[in-house]
Structure 1
Amino acid sequence: MLTFLAPVGSVIALLFAFYLARRVRQAEEGTEKMKQISAAVRRGANAYLKRQYTGVAIFFAVMFVVLFIMAGFGFLTYFVPFAFVTGGFFSGLSGFIGMRIATSANARTANAASKSLNSGLRVAFSAGGVMGFVVVGLGLLDISFWFFFLKWFYSNPANLGLAADVSAAALESAQVQAITSAMLTFGMGASSMALFARVGGGIFTKAADVGADLVGKVEVGIPEDDPRNPAVIADNVGDNVGDVAGMGADLYESYVGSVISTAALAVAAGYGFKGVSIPMGMAAIGILASIIGTFFVKTKEGASQKNLLTALRRGTWISAAIITVAAFPLIWFGLGSEHIGLYAAVISGLVAGILIGIFTEYYTSDTYNPLKKLAESSKTGAATVIINGLSLGMKSTAAPVVIVGISIIISYFSSGGAQAYDNGLYGIGLSAVGMLSTLGITLATDAYGPVADNAGGIAEMAGLDESVRERTDALDSLGNTTAATGKGFAIGSAALTALALIASYISEVKVRDPNFAFNLNITSPAVLVGLFIGAALPFMFAALTMAAVGKSAQSIVFEVRRQFREIKGLLEGKADPDYETCVDLCTRSAQKQMIAPALMAVIVPIVVGLLLGVNGVCGMLAGATASGFILAIMMANAGGAWDNAKKYIEAGNFGGKGSDCHKASVVGDTVGDPFKDTSGPSINILIKLLSMVSIVFSGLIISCHLM
């Protein structure tokens, strides 16, 4: 069966990640000063993750007990609590491994950039590749383990409550239903870990970044990444815990969620094990395609931003082309020629992911007019930079909404949705799998950015030649664009995955109570109230995370000011700052501030379900997905544009560094930091976690609700 491709693909991905990690570690770290700075960043990142995982372990222990009790009352199977833990463990592990390699690659990238631009690109991209292939490798490993274990367990008719002489067809039908129903619930573990990693890491990185910029660049007037700034190490630590570990856990959850939700929809559509094998096989083939694509990422010395972007695009497009070719025989031989319409669903998702990336690049890259006009607005001060940045972010939502909408329509009807509703939903699930099939290389281009950013900081702090900083700045600026593109991709995939999860929630309710009467009419009070609550949730969530960054940044501002005031000779470079205090402040503040938004994502769907019932939950999920998708795109693109507008001015445009235009752009970048790196990216996890929690607690909600 095609399902055997999944464990094979996971092993290949992990072996390739090991190969890339070894290649990174073989590169030279550079001078003793570079090694010391890199070690300081590594210590800070490790200290943060140790404290975060300690706190998250408590949450997982409590949830394990809750799920175990629910299993005792018959709302879940006893496998769910254990699968919940493994989902969270592998999600956290993927982020941890990626972060470890990223903090090992920063100095090595800076040192490689002293030789050539291409050398720096290869080291940074290899480090990002470790993150990408660890995510897909561990994700498929987790899915494969539970699939084959549950398949073995439910091969015994007695474990399904069936007679020993049951027919083979009836046994297979009950078996695949039980397997996918159980697997569907363990995505909550991955979603929970992703939310903690993304929110906590996002608060840390932006508190440090905003605090360092407000005092260092705005008040004191020293350059970015200046070693005199006490928050500079915390800023570099934040790049790793937020944009590497956090992004890794985020896309791990999307990847796993798309595969298992599509598998569950295959059962509802009547495709059985053959339908389940398609998303698993597609994910495995995507790994091979991504590996091939990585070998085409290279550039030449003196390359422009456009050349560098083309180098990264080349690998992604080659991977997408391979999937385009391979998906056809996979569906033809897996399900039969009569279901070849599903091929269009896969391609629509794949193309949608690429198009979202292109439009994100259009709004956030200095190659195009929207960003140049934003930078030009700095001539009239910070206020117009803020206004125009918000306008740009709002405009940028139109294209992704249209793209995802077209992809949904194509997927639904090409899969036979007009004839059978469940078939169309399966097609939408496959489009999400198609979009995420090349995640290995897509995530590599995203995780590459923080490594390049760190490399630039180390080049500055270690006092390397100006030509090295120019190369690392070129890589860093490209990293901002790829990070913005990656966030757009993550948000788009989250929208499709969330839609598949909503459909899976409805299917799960039907399985638990075949006689349940849905009333999803928009005028139904439960649906309407749920819709309003859901639409408000992303805004409330964004408000909490933005406030968390503001509060945490305040403590860093006060600490940096204190050190500049009290440490004699610090500004003159005659004394060393206390980096560790800023790292510790960020760590403690991030851990404290992430609790409220994380708990909101878990508690609200349960409360809504108990008050408004299943129909109310459906309304809530629809409202949160619609408003969350748009809000996340707006915040991510506005933040990315503000950041690149600042870098565009620093490159010598509109007066360059130190000019009034530059000061205005720094204010815009400071506002945009929590937009693009904390609130925006976290919202896409929120909309998926709401669905996951609803699925896990569906049995309880069916039995206990007011409306």
Structure 2
Amino acid sequence: MDFNLIVLAPVGSIIALGFAAYLAFSVMKHSEGTDEMKKIAASVRQGANAYLKRQYTGVALFFVAMVIILGIMAFLGYLTPFVPFAFLTGGFFSGLSGFLGMKMATNSNARTANAAKDSLNKGLRVAFSSGAVMGLVVVGLGLLDLSIWYFFLDWFYTGLPDAERIQKITSAMLTFGMGASSMALFARVGGGIFTKAADVGADLVGKVEAGIPEDDPRNPAVIADNVGDNVGDVAGMGADLYESYVGSIVSTSALAVAAGLGTRGVTIPLIMAAIGVLASIIGTFFVRSGEKAEQKVLLAALRRGVYISSAIIAVVSFFLVRNVLGSEHMGVYWAVISGLLAGILIGFFTEYFTSDTYKPTQNLAGTSLTGPATVIIGGISLGMASTAIPVIIISVAVLASYYLAGGAADFGMGLYGIGIAAVGMLSTLGITLATDAYGPVADNAGGIAEMSHQKPEVRKRTDALDSLGNTTAATGKGFAIGSAALTALALIAAFVGEVELIDPSFKFNLSIMNPSVLIGLFIGAMLPFLFAALTMNAVGRAAQKIVVEVRRQFKEIKGLMEGTAQADYATCVDICTRSAQKEMIAPAFVAIVAPIVVGLVLGVNGVAGMLAGAAVAGFVLAIMMANSGGAWDNAKKYIEAGNHGGKGSDSHKAAVVGDTVGDPFKDTSGPSINILIKLLSMVSIVFAAFILSNSIIK
């Protein structure tokens, strides 16, 4: 029965990719609008393609080098021969999911703007369908990669006893998460540096110095800004959540072995992922709105789809757990529910702190009346305060999933419960990511409507979709960070299990009085701050180049400010591309090298401490940065809607400064930290045997 059920995983993959293709063709049937709209959309596509081509060329060199290193380690006996290939496929599918999502987004922006001419609901449907393509491609490719490896390894180890076979399968599958994590880091960091360098440069010179509107065609950085939305928030986010999705499933599968659940325990997360595909597809049909351009109405339309998908998963998972694990393990089902609820609650409270529908962001907008300094102070304090509720939610989810799954009687079952809670949270990824990837499409649509001088009614609709996109993007980041925290906990447990599998005689000493563990905790807690500093500085340096270039063009291109001359968009795109490729090297180096260095000096106990410190500090810092940035952005939008003096007022200029500070917070450093805490775990798992054999402190 278990084997027959596990066939649902590749079936779910095919359904997801098939429905994504159907949605893509449906979106492409819509017109891109006027010649001017088509021209702007083509410029964005060209810039995004040029960036990804250069990025993937550079990342390919890294992957070749890593495959050689992993191949040497496999030859020396530290790894199985499958690891280099698993690493490669993990990176390939992660990059492919981001690439396909970006291609869809850049082909949907003008179509969304044109659809908004007919109705608000039509514009919402086009943008959301584009986002749904991204969500379904991520889960479809993730399940495909998992299925290929599972069935291949099951065939390869077919002669072994069940327990040993499953152990070897899950141990090998864990390692391709490192490839997915590495690709996600490059995509997220590189894309984040690109998009925020362009955004900051465009805002500082265009809106603050020159006093021209956002997305004004006279601004030389405007196309680079629109390109950045796609390479950062679509390609980057897709690769990021692909990695969380796959990581949660493989880590939970590995924990099933320690829990003594064997094939049945491995089956549950894979089938839950397949159920999530069908639930997400059904949920997409319920995303519709009327013609009221109110945030509450539009948010309710998107929430409806997520809630219905979650309800379907909650019902079907009950029968899945009962039939596969039996009534004696029904606590696993409640662990699934705890993860589902945690994901929904984190999304809701992220929305509460970042949407201008609620008091926190409205109050932040009010601080602009006394200048930029109070806006920045207010935004940072809001972000700090917003960390309390997500930490409590994740803590309750961890505690509940551990004990509900049977952790009081069996430690292994408790850890499996935490892993399955992460799978539960990510089971709605198909539709949750759709609401997130919708944001950059709506943002681009608003820009295209403004640059092509559409009628006020069209602009009103695209502005409403754009403002909704800011909130859904913030909610998506909160969901991504929350899922990363649960996935990281499951991966830490998988790391401990992997070490014990490599050397059964090794005994961990994870007491905080153990100097190795204590030092590891300090180093781990420091790493997210170092990583955030590197990425923030990278954005700052790249933005300075854009500021200089935009000022140069305003000064030297005669007639640019009057609208009689064309800006040189290509130069700004090229500056952002070159800067992003150069600046992403240092953060990536820290993430990959840190676990190996700590392991060689402090041993596996020190690595466990480092992973725990990074998970805790990284989760809190990422939430704080993402929510501060989201609130600053929507406070600016709230003022632009006519509050506190409206566009062009001193309070608006103060809010723009706050938004400019918040840009790298929410779109570069914050979202990248959740990849950091997972990549640290993945690297630790892959290099566990090497660290065990060569560490100074045993």
TM-score, normalised on structure 2? 0.99
Deviation by residue 1:371-393 (Cα, 9 ceiling, x = unmatched): 11000111101100000100100
Letter in 2 for 1:54: T
For 1:151, the equivalent position in structure 2 comes to 154
Work out which of the residue numbers 591, 595, 617 in structure 1 matches 2:585.
595
Is 1:335 aligned with 2:325? Answer: yes
For 1:271, the equivalent position in structure 2 comes to 261
Is 1:478 aligned with 2:468? Answer: yes
Work out which of the residue numbers 651, 668, 682 in structure 2 matches 1:692.
682
For 1:299, the equivalent position in structure 2 comes to 289
Is 1:50 aligned with 2:53? Answer: yes
For 1:419, the equivalent position in structure 2 comes to 409
For 1:632, the equivalent position in structure 2 comes to 622
Letter in 2 for 1:523: M
TM-score, normalised on structure 1? 0.98
For 1:180, the equivalent position in structure 2 comes to 170
Letter in 2 for 1:542: A
Work out the CA distance in 2 between the residues paired with 1:543 and 1:258. 28
For 2:235, the equivalent position in structure 1 comes to 245
Is 1:388 aligned with 2:378? Answer: yes
Is 1:518 aligned with 2:520? Answer: no
Deviation by residue 1:453-504 (Cα, 9 ceiling, x = unmatched): 0000000111111111111110011010010000000000000000000000
Work out the CA distance in 1 between the residues paired with 2:159 and 2:582. 47
Work out the CA distance in 1 between the residues paired with 2:436 and 2:648. 30
For 2:74, the equivalent position in structure 1 comes to 71
Work out the CA distance in 2 between the residues paired with 1:407 and 1:301. 38
For 1:168, the equivalent position in structure 2 comes to none
Work out the CA distance in 2 between the residues paired with 1:467 and 1:550. 37
Which range moves more in the overlay, 296-305 or 405-414?
A: 296-305
Deviation by residue 1:357-383 (Cα, 9 ceiling, x = unmatched): 010011001111111100011110110
Work out the CA distance in 2 between the residues paired with 1:214 and 1:369. 27
Work out which of the residue numbers 8, 24, 27 in structure 1 matches 2:27.
24
For 1:672, the equivalent position in structure 2 comes to 662
Structure 2 runs not aligned, ≥5 long: none
For 2:207, the equivalent position in structure 1 comes to 217
Work out the CA distance in 2 between the residues paired with 1:308 and 1:52. 35
Work out the CA distance in 2 between the residues paired with 1:222 and 1:83. 50
Work out the CA distance in 1 between the residues paired with 2:159 and 2:335. 35
For 2:107, the equivalent position in structure 1 comes to 104
Letter in 2 for 1:567: I
For 1:89, the equivalent position in structure 2 comes to 92
Work out the CA distance in 2 between the residues paired with 1:525 and 1:646. 48
Work out the CA distance in 2 between the residues paired with 1:4 and 1:698. 32
Residues 437, 473 of structure 2: 8 Å contact kept: yes
Work out the CA distance in 2 between the residues paired with 1:327 and 1:146. 24
Is 1:565 aligned with 2:568? Answer: no
Residue pairs, 1:222-621, within 5 angstroms: 222-621=212-611
For 1:39, the equivalent position in structure 2 comes to 42
Work out the CA distance in 1 between the residues paired with 2:293 and 2:98. 31
Is 1:12 aligned with 2:15? Answer: yes
- Superposed displacement of residue 38, structure 1: 0.2
Deviation by residue 1:50-71 (Cα, 9 ceiling, x = unmatched): 0000000000000000000110
- Report the 3-state secondary structure (helix = DSSP H, G, I; strand = E; otherwise coil) of the residue aligned with 1:569: coil
Work out the CA distance in 1 between the residues paired with 2:234 and 2:477. 12
Work out which of the residue numbers 180, 184, 198 in structure 1 matches 2:188.
198
Work out the CA distance in 1 between the residues paired with 2:514 and 2:456. 65
Work out the CA distance in 1 between the residues paired with 2:281 and 2:536. 37
Residues 351, 471 of structure 2: 8 Å contact kept: yes
Letter in 2 for 1:69: I
- Report the 3-state secondary structure (helix = DSSP H, G, I; strand = E; otherwise coil) of the residue aligned with 2:108: helix
Is 1:127 aligned with 2:117? Answer: no
Work out the CA distance in 2 between the residues paired with 1:695 and 1:470. 51
Work out the CA distance in 2 between the residues paired with 1:71 and 1:470. 59
For 1:163, the equivalent position in structure 2 comes to none
Residues 546, 575 of structure 2: 8 Å contact kept: yes
- Report the 3-state secondary structure (helix = DSSP H, G, I; strand = E; otherwise coil) of the residue aligned with 1:137: helix
Work out the CA distance in 2 between the residues paired with 1:355 and 1:630. 16
- Report the 3-state secondary structure (helix = DSSP H, G, I; strand = E; otherwise coil) of the residue aligned with 1:654: coil
Work out the CA distance in 2 between the residues paired with 1:369 and 1:690. 37
| Structure 1 residue runs of 4 or more that deviate by more than 2 Å after TM superposition | none
- Report the 3-state secondary structure (helix = DSSP H, G, I; strand = E; otherwise coil) of the residue aligned with 1:447: helix
For 1:160, the equivalent position in structure 2 comes to none
- Superposed displacement of residue 616, structure 1: 0.1
- Report the 3-state secondary structure (helix = DSSP H, G, I; strand = E; otherwise coil) of the residue aligned with 2:644: helix
Work out the CA distance in 1 between the residues paired with 2:334 and 2:292. 41
Deviation by residue 1:642-677 (Cα, 9 ceiling, x = unmatched): 000000000000110000110000000000000000
Deviation by residue 1:259-282 (Cα, 9 ceiling, x = unmatched): 000000001111000100000000
- Report the 3-state secondary structure (helix = DSSP H, G, I; strand = E; otherwise coil) of the residue aligned with 1:655: coil
Structure 1 runs not aligned, ≥5 long: 158-170
Deviation by residue 1:392-445 (Cα, 9 ceiling, x = unmatched): 000000000000000000100011101111110000000000000010000000
- Superposed displacement of residue 237, structure 1: 0.1
Work out the CA distance in 2 between the residues paired with 1:31 and 1:303. 24
For 1:114, the equivalent position in structure 2 comes to 117
- Superposed displacement of residue 304, structure 1: 1.0
Letter in 2 for 1:99: M
- Report the 3-state secondary structure (helix = DSSP H, G, I; strand = E; otherwise coil) of the residue aligned with 2:107: helix
Residues 220, 572 of structure 2: 8 Å contact kept: yes
Letter in 1 for 2:48: A
Letter in 1 for 2:15: I
Work out the CA distance in 2 between the residues paired with 1:477 and 1:544. 30
Work out which of the residue numbers 119, 140, 145 in structure 2 matches 1:142.
145
Is 1:641 aligned with 2:631? Answer: yes
Work out the CA distance in 2 between the residues paired with 1:670 and 1:366. 17
- Superposed displacement of residue 156, structure 1: 3.0
Residues 293, 461 of structure 2: 8 Å contact kept: no
